[in-house]
Amino acid sequence: MDVDNRLLRSFLAVAQEGSLTRATERLFVSQPTLTKQIRQLEGRLGVPLFERSRAGMALTTAGRALAARAPGLLAEWDATLRETRSAASRAERTLRVGFLASAANEATPRIVAEFTRTRPG
């Protein structure tokens, strides 16, 4: 069973805010959209996460368990994305340098040494 991290973020907002209304304001989504996301997550997990009442939404035992773990899961996912993007931006690239024949003999070693000193690897 795959759970979209968007659903976890929506769940966490409702859990932290204690109400759909406040969570919709925080997430900038409509109440029907947020309700659908919560129901979708509950369906995927096969358990109710909230007890709904006029006073708001209270976490069930399963909801409390998920609320305890979700922040760490989301933080780990965000860190993984950052590291992946960072690694991609540091990927090895080819640099081609051209010199005039008259300047190449004396300048090339100095330029290459400076380049490798400032950009190791």
Q: How high is the pLDDT of residue 114?
A: 83
Largest separation between any pair of C-alpha atoms in the chain: 84
**What are the structural domain ranges in the chain?**
5-92
The DSSP code sequence of 93-113 is --------HHHHHHHHHHHHH
Q: DSSP letter at 46?
A: T
Size of the chain, expressed as the number of residues it contains: 121
Q: How high is the pLDDT of residue 101?
A: 67
State the virtual CA torsion across 46, 50, 52, 54 in degrees, nearest 10. -170
Q: What is the mean pLDDT of each successive set of 10 residues along the chain, which is 121 residues long?
A: 90 95 96 97 97 89 98 95 84 70 70 78 61
The CATH code that applies to domain 5-92 is 1.10.10.10
Helices (H) and strands (E) in the chain, counts: 5, 2
